[in-house]
Amino acid sequence: MTFTSIDQSLLGPYSSSASTFLGVGRNRFINGEMSIDQQNGGNVVTVNNSGIRFWSVDGNWFGSGQPASGVFTLQRLSATPPTGFTNYLRIQTTTADATIASQFYILRTLWEGLQTRDFLWGTANAKTITVSFWVRGSITGTYSFALTNATATRFYVATYVINSANTWEKKIVTIPGDTVGTWVTDTTQNLVFTIPVGVAAFRQTGTTNQWVTSGTELDQATGAVNIIQTLNATLDFTGMQMEIGSAATPYEYKPFALELQLCQRLFEKSYDIDTAVGTATGTNGDEVAGGQTGATTVTTSAIYYKVTKRVNPIVTTWDYSGTSGNGAWRSTSGVDTNRATTVVNGCTRYFGLRQTVALDYLVQCQWAADARL
């Protein structure tokens, strides 16, 4: 049998998608359902510093805040998601900043160039994209989000409205492709998506829903709601989708195993999936043999990742009591001793371990490999 044409109506939700990743991969958000939280296992993340990335759910989501003026938290929850979803990410103000004089509080996610290379941004052929998501807020009014390139010179601040407090609403925003600016297509950071929690006036803009060039970072629309100003205010998100085209297609439910692999390319751990890193446990830990490589030096064979990493990751180990930088090394007489453990011979596919105290022949430990942007 030979097919000479395809009835586009048979493609259902895919018929309006202009993506080169037809079907699987249509949605460029990783973990858009907010269901995978490898680092925290659903525990609360307190955001109280501007110089640290407070990592939340997988997919490069992190918060940045201030050390004293205001504080907010991030947490994956599952109590009351919208129909069709099982999890959502909650932002909640725990210390209010009424004035936001010069501060900024934000939630961000990042894309590498390989994830968005077919957007063709920065060229005359730049493609339109559509962002859709489910949101629920305790305060009604106009909200915004921002798209930024890696050099923080091109900005698009879009607005949307929460009409009913504490009610899930679906929002759809169509964004024209940027025909100028620098947009990379490799493993480095390319696109930044910012959800403002509270931003001072100097990082706000009244020029919304269009691309602008600015020497000052623009994160929020002038007059938009700052939930950091209200104690216990909440803002929930799930069903995050970004796709090529001028229409929002139904949310792409990737197979869980595939979604997990996309997450593990950026962050992988030995712990069970919902056990926070640093937890005192031996469950699912690694045990690897070593050999003498010096007078009192033992180096292990390689520990291989399940998924090749974006770049050579930063690897951290924990012994089973939860002490960072350690492993439990076993002597020939069968005695386990927690010792300082160094990561060696690392690359995007594997790493090794070493200790220089005694000729113990085997190590047991937990670990996490971080290749996030």
Any domain includes 165? yes
Same domain, 149 and 15: yes
- What is the Cβ-side half-sphere exposure of residue 268, based on CA atoms within 13 angstroms? 22
CB-based contact 47:74 (threshold 8 Å): yes
Number of domains in the chain: 2
Averaged pLDDT for residues 8-13: 40
Is the confidence at residue 278, as pLDDT, over 90?
Answer: yes
Same domain, 152 and 82: yes
CATH number at residue 64: 2.60.120.260
Any domain includes 25? yes
Any domain includes 108? yes
Is the confidence at residue 4, as pLDDT, over 80?
Answer: no
Which of residues 264, 295, 330 is at a domain's end?
264
Is the confidence at residue 236, as pLDDT, over 60?
Answer: yes
Any domain includes 281? no
Any domain includes 198? yes
Cα(337)–Cα(360) distance, integer angstroms:
9
Same domain, 233 and 164: yes
- Which residue segment(s) compose the domain that 181 sits in? 10-264
pLDDT bucket at 68, cuts 50 / 70 / 90: confident
pLDDT bucket at 23, cuts 50 / 70 / 90: low
Same domain, 44 and 104: yes
Is the confidence at residue 173, as pLDDT, over 60?
Answer: yes
CB-based contact 296:354 (threshold 8 Å): no
The whole-chain average pLDDT of the chain stands at 93
Same domain, 290 and 215: no
Same domain, 255 and 299: no
Is the confidence at residue 166, as pLDDT, over 90?
Answer: yes
What's residue 251's pLDDT?
96
Same domain, 245 and 324: no
Averaged pLDDT for residues 332-343: 96
Same domain, 238 and 338: no
CB-based contact 224:145 (threshold 8 Å): no
Q: Which residue has the higher pLDDT, 295 or 97?
A: 97
Same domain, 259 and 330: no
Same domain, 185 and 245: yes
Cβ within 8 Å of residue 152, ≥6 positions away? 192, 217
Same domain, 118 and 242: yes
CB atoms closer than 10 angstroms to residue 3 = 5
Same domain, 258 and 294: no
Any domain includes 227? yes
State the sign of the Cα–Cα–Cα–Cα dihedral 333, 337, 342, 348. Answer: positive
pLDDT bucket at 7, cuts 50 / 70 / 90: very low
pLDDT tens readout for residues 91-106: 999 999 999 999 999 9
Q: Is the pTM of this model over 0.75?
A: yes
Averaged pLDDT for residues 282-311: 95
Any domain includes 22? yes
Name the percent of the chain lying above pLDDT 70: 94
